Structure 1
Amino acid sequence: MHTELLPKGVCASIDRINRAFVWGEEDGKSKLHLVGWEKMILPKDQGGAGLRSVRNANLAMLAKSGWRLLKEKDALWTQVVRDKYGRGKENLDLFRSPQGSSFTWRSLNKASPLLMRGCAWNIKNGKTTKFWHDSWIVQEPLLNLAEEEIPDSRRDEVVADLTSDDGRWCMERLEGLLPPEIQMKITSVAVDKLSNDEDTLFWAFSSNGRFTTKTAYESLLPEGNDPDTKFWKIIWSLPVPERVRCFVWLVGLGRIATNALRYSRKVSDSTDCERCNGQAESILHILRDCPPAMYFWVRQVPSARQHAFFSASTADWLRGNLAAGEIEHVGIQWPAFFSIAIWLLWKNRNDMCFKGISATLTPPSLTHSIVAKAKLWSEAWRAPSLLPFGRRAAAARITANIAWSPPPEGWVKLNIDGASNGNPGPAGAGGVLRNEVGFWLGGFVAMVGEASAALAELWAFHHGLDVAWNLGYRQLVVESDSQLAIQLIEERHDPVHPYATLLAAIRRKLSRDWLVRVVHVYREGNRVADWLSKHSLVYPYGVQELAHPPPGLTTILQDDIQGVSFERRIVSRHCNSLSPLTSV
């Protein structure tokens, strides 16, 4: 599948085998397919089961071979293939199938549309990427988005031609030529004209710029528009056995085989519940309202919560109970207990209907059995001996009082923050310099453009370090409430990372002849920078230095000087939030 395009008939046959396996078909006897295949192959956070369409998986794997052909230029096999079929072409122009090419080469070319959508240019010095012709800011040439005719004299411009030596974009040269939203995307891109690093291709569908078959495959699926992404993530992260997760997923989709559903599929003569022989057997009835289930829940749910519990609709009932992670019952977090309980109630119903082995199980004995099994399964799931197999014990949390703390005597503290209205969306950065008594020494706001929150945080580092250096401070504590930004700066980043150029610039600034400590702080101790970053969105593109604090900051600055604190639940091992994470 990495080198040959499988025939459509073969892909369809494998998909049929997969569907039969999922729903338990045996000896050619068809069973009820509760969820359509189009839904099954969606990612789990989109309400699917995370299975794969063979055809799309084949294209994703072919794209991986194509990506290696583009990036592994020194490998012997790529040299042979490029010499035979490439005809001197480079980058994406390589995928132009000449006459008489082999089936393998034609197969790789079938994946070229996917590669062309996923490949983008990572700007370093900007001297090789064609500003108007290459796909570097969006997944098509900017020439196609121009609002006016681009003069012939400018059509061969490279990215570096539109920036100054200090990396600032010459936006006046683009005025009226491109839509405002495209201009905002452009200003968020870092360019280092003085670097010797050439622009390189990166994979736009992954956060780190590296190609993965997973992201290539998911890019072939219909664009996700499920508003319940958080809900599905909760289901698939429940601390319960996988079979229970799968059952809760089916409940969330409304697809368990109750008599009501079986009747609608014409595989049952009646919708009636076989336990109470009265009401139609819906999902809510069998799991909550049927007398044995109600007997069980009345004894588990506190009386103060029972009205809301028994009056909720199916969707609200499920979502409310799965989101109640702060509640414990019999030593188990409520979402886990609830999930195990509804699965055991369903299993008991099936045993009674199809096997007859639980027909005599009384409601009290059923209640006792469910609680006992829930405890047993939960204890087994949390057993330390099982934790190395991909699961981690829940971190202990404590309540801490968080406040801004002054720097040591002789040092200056730089608090920085980034904000994105949409993530990605209009983004800005802000920062403040203060001494050991909390006196304002300087600050800045910077409108970045359209960017993610992480990119805005990195721009806050970039501009904040420049402001501190230019003001002459040489002993600096930098505080940020973004652990991700600090982690990106600390780690050795891949050259294909989308933020590689900006990260390299930040590290160069940190390596100047000065003492800098980079520290993570919670948002409650970073309120001034938070205010400035949000305030920066009203400014035009660029950095605005602030010699004096804006009027709206007076109260927050006074609170910081007086040591006003705010309660926050934090992981106990992070209680010392002022320990330096980076020291240069």
Structure 2
Amino acid sequence: MGIYKWPSSIVREAETLLRNFLWSGNPSRKKGITVAWEKVCKPYSEGGLNIRRLGEINKAMLMKQAWNFISGKGYFADYLRHKYLDKNGEIVKYYKHSTIWPGIRWALQEIKDKVRWIVGDGKSVDLWRDNWLGESIQHRLHLTTELKNCTSKVSSIVHGQEWKIPPQLQRILEEAQLQVDNRHTPNVAESDMAVWIPYPHGKFSTKSAFEMIRKKHTQVGWSKALWNGYLHPRQAAMAWKINVNAIETMDNVMKRGIPLASRCCLYAMKKMKQRGKLIKDIWNSAVIATIVAIWKLRNKITHEEKDLNAKFCEKFIENQVKVTARLSKATGYNNLEKLKITREWQIILKPPPAPIIQQCSWKLPEQHMMKINVDGASRGNPGKAGWGAIFRNSRNEVCLTVCKGMGIASNFMSELQGIVESIEMRLARGWDNLVVESDSKAVVQALQKNEVPWQFSTSWRKIMQRVKETLLDTDITAKRGAGLLDTIMTSWEGRPPWLDRVESPYEVYFRFSNM
């Protein structure tokens, strides 16, 4: 599927076999009461069974080939570009025999607007046709035939680590309302880097490509109650069929023209009303187990014409609830009413884990060192965000306090931007010896693995050329930064009046957390 474009007829036939096998267990046998395949092929969170459409898988895998065609550096990528690009850098419009090119060309339609170039030496980036300014000049000005014989690369306007833009080109950029991003200055010592815009780190993956092209649906609230580690998959599947109305109820069977006499299980409905609230108070999964049990008993009464007494019904439901309780990772309740309910059902709950108490302290930086404590905050994650930083010296004196608003962003991005911009401020002030502390494990790991989002990749590479940072703790300034407007920065020389407390190196602090 990652080499050729599958014909639509093959995709339809293959999905028919999959659909029949899912519902009947036999690829060649169709079942009467089902759900539309499009509704089945949705993530769990959107009410589906987390099955992927074959056509979308085919396109996502071919997008990997298209990505290599645009940004690959191997012999095969060079061969494809030499064969299917004309001398102007445009895709050839005439036919060339190939079994793989039609699929790559099909996928290029999805990928070409999602690629941006971070300029290094500029030798791989087309000045007019590639996106290195947020949008290509060709696309912004709707240029087609005007670019014939225009083959300049961005390297023609790169000198060392600076831009040298001719006045004529500057006027064109102003007309197109495009401007060079000062965060991404060129560097002739590095190669150009293509970034995948939909993914924060800028690295292309088939998974992110599939997520971009698949059809999105509204999320449902009941999905987390079904697909979890403590509910048996058979029970979850049955509950899913009930939610999407794909079971052989009297109404569904009669809608298909099959006459049946109604024999509703009145006792089961009565017990559900009596026990519904009680079961709800135990666990949400217990409700699902009860619904499945009721359905099974109803089928025995309806189709096998068996008379089941109340004791048997209660025992059957109780067993299903206990199975769920054994699989559950839930711990004991701290509420007497809830504890009474679990005892009535004879459920033994696991004791909650003891909290982990960690002793921690804030250490002064060494002599002639500056320590920056950085923290980011987002009201909603993502939501209105900002970051804050406190600069302190070896005498525990607050030298600088900074808060900045970011607009809408996540906690991760606000924390990362705070670290990058704080270090850049330090470099601008000439503070050479530095220690940076952050309480975000995700940000620390991203920096250690060099998986910085592409928006900050150029800035981070420049920083790493000059300094080596140690990352580990600030909160008040971040919350204040989240209240500022986008790009608004406020700073104080020394300690601001609203910063009523900072960590003391002479005190011991404790952090409480669970396993």
State the TM bucket, normalised to the shorter chain: 0.7 to 0.9
State the alpha-carbon separation in 1 of the partners of residues 481 and 122 from structure 2: 28
State the alpha-carbon separation in 2 of the partners of residues 347 and 132 from structure 1: 66
Question: Are 1:97 and 1:109, in contact at CA under 8 Å, matched by a contact in 2?
Answer: no
Partner of 2:308: 359
Question: Are 2:399 and 2:495, in contact at CA under 8 Å, matched by a contact in 1?
Answer: no
Question: Are 2:406 and 2:482, in contact at CA under 8 Å, matched by a contact in 1?
Answer: no
1:6 has 2:6 as partner? yes
State the alpha-carbon separation in 2 of the partners of residues 369 and 497 from structure 1: 53
The structural deviation recorded for 1:273 is 6.3
1:193 has 2:186 as partner? yes
The structural deviation recorded for 1:70 is 3.8
State the alpha-carbon separation in 1 of the partners of residues 507 and 97 from structure 2: 72
Q: 1:6 to 1:469 in 2, by over 3 A?
A: closer
Give the unaligned 5+ runs of structure 1.
278-285, 303-328, 380-393, 573-584
1:116 has 2:112 as partner? yes
Deviations 1:356-395 (Å, cap 9, x if unpaired)?
A: 578356333224322333345459xxxxxxxxxxxxxx99
Partner of 1:534: 482
Q: Helix, strand or coil for the counterpart of 1:206? A: coil
Q: 1:372 to 1:50 in 2, by over 3 A?
A: closer
Partner of 2:232: 241
Please report the TM-score for the alignment, with normalisation by the length of structure 2: 0.73
Q: 1:478 to 1:564 in 2, by over 3 A?
A: same
Give the unaligned 5+ runs of structure 2.
164-169, 330-350
Q: 1:56 to 1:463 in 2, by over 3 A?
A: closer
Moved more, 290-299 or 563-572: 563-572
Structure 2 residue identity aligned to 1:407? L
- Which residue of 72, 82, 97 corresponds with 1:101? 97
Partner of 1:547: 493
Question: Are 1:445 and 1:546, in contact at CA under 8 Å, matched by a contact in 2?
Answer: no
The structural deviation recorded for 1:135 is 3.2
Partner of 2:54: 54
Deviations 1:82-141 (Å, cap 9, x if unpaired)?
A: 444445676xx4x43532422332232222212324433245577865687533565x54
The structural deviation recorded for 1:69 is 3.6
State the alpha-carbon separation in 1 of the partners of residues 384 and 141 from structure 2: 21
The structural deviation recorded for 1:518 is 1.1
State the alpha-carbon separation in 1 of the partners of residues 31 and 137 from structure 2: 52
- Which residue of 268, 271, 293 corresponds with 2:272? 293
1:570 has 2:508 as partner? no
State the alpha-carbon separation in 1 of the partners of residues 409 and 172 from structure 2: 19
Question: Are 1:85 and 1:98, in contact at CA under 8 Å, matched by a contact in 2?
Answer: no
Deviations 1:337-359 (Å, cap 9, x if unpaired)?
A: 44444434433433443455783
State the alpha-carbon separation in 2 of the partners of residues 408 and 134 from structure 1: 46
State the alpha-carbon separation in 1 of the partners of residues 22 and 276 from structure 2: 31
The structural deviation recorded for 1:254 is 5.3
State the alpha-carbon separation in 2 of the partners of residues 216 and 7 from structure 1: 20
Partner of 1:281: none
- Which residue of 455, 474, 480 corresponds with 2:413? 455
Partner of 1:504: 461
1:205 has 2:198 as partner? yes
Q: Helix, strand or coil for the counterpart of 2:266? A: coil
* Map 1:240-389 → 2, pairs under 5 A: 240-253=231-244, 255-263=246-254, 269=260, 274-276=264-266, 290-294=269-273, 296-297=275-276, 300=279, 334-355=283-304, 359-360=308-309, 362-378=312-328
Question: Are 2:383 and 2:410, in contact at CA under 8 Å, matched by a contact in 1?
Answer: yes
Partner of 2:424: 466
Partner of 1:582: none
Q: 1:530 to 1:33 in 2, by over 3 A?
A: farther
Deviations 1:290-313 (Å, cap 9, x if unpaired)?
A: 1343455466455xxxxxxxxxxx
Q: Helix, strand or coil for the counterpart of 2:42? A: coil
Structure 2 residue identity aligned to 1:45? S
State the alpha-carbon separation in 1 of the partners of residues 407 and 100 from structure 2: 43
Moved more, 204-213 or 261-270: 261-270
Root mean square deviation of aligned Cα:
4.8
State the alpha-carbon separation in 1 of the partners of residues 265 and 243 from structure 2: 23
- Which residue of 466, 471, 491 corresponds with 1:518? 471
State the alpha-carbon separation in 2 of the partners of residues 408 and 337 from structure 1: 55
Q: 1:372 to 1:191 in 2, by over 3 A?
A: same
Q: Helix, strand or coil for the counterpart of 1:431? A: strand
Partner of 2:22: 22
* Map 1:106-185 → 2, pairs under 5 A: 106-124=102-120, 129=125, 133-136=129-132, 141=136
Q: 1:426 to 1:257 in 2, by over 3 A?
A: same
Deviations 1:325-347 (Å, cap 9, x if unpaired)?
A: xxxx5xxxx34444444434433
* Map 1:413-428 → 2, pairs under 5 A: 413-419=371-377, 428=386
Q: 1:190 to 1:421 in 2, by over 3 A?
A: farther
The structural deviation recorded for 1:417 is 2.5
Structure 2 residue identity aligned to 1:110? W
State the alpha-carbon separation in 1 of the partners of residues 156 and 355 from structure 2: 51
Structure 1 residue identity aligned to 2:477? A
The structural deviation recorded for 1:461 is 1.0
Deviations 1:176-234 (Å, cap 9, x if unpaired)?
A: 9788xx99xx86x8313346223322333334433333332333223x35254x75456
Question: Are 2:373 and 2:436, in contact at CA under 8 Å, matched by a contact in 1?
Answer: yes
State the alpha-carbon separation in 1 of the partners of residues 83 and 127 from structure 2: 31
State the alpha-carbon separation in 1 of the partners of residues 303 and 40 from structure 2: 27
Structure 2 residue identity aligned to 1:134? D
Partner of 2:344: none
Question: Are 2:384 and 2:483, in contact at CA under 8 Å, matched by a contact in 1?
Answer: no
Structure 1 residue identity aligned to 2:60? A
Identity of aligned residues (%): 20
State the alpha-carbon separation in 2 of the partners of residues 108 and 208 from structure 1: 24
Structure 1 residue identity aligned to 2:30? S
Q: 1:58 to 1:367 in 2, by over 3 A?
A: closer
Q: Which has the larger radius of gyration?
A: 2
Q: 1:498 to 1:301 in 2, by over 3 A?
A: same
Question: Are 1:97 and 1:105, in contact at CA under 8 Å, matched by a contact in 2?
Answer: no
Question: Are 2:47 and 2:219, in contact at CA under 8 Å, matched by a contact in 1?
Answer: no
State the alpha-carbon separation in 2 of the partners of residues 419 and 96 from structure 1: 49
- Aligned pair count reads 480
The structural deviation recorded for 1:489 is 0.5
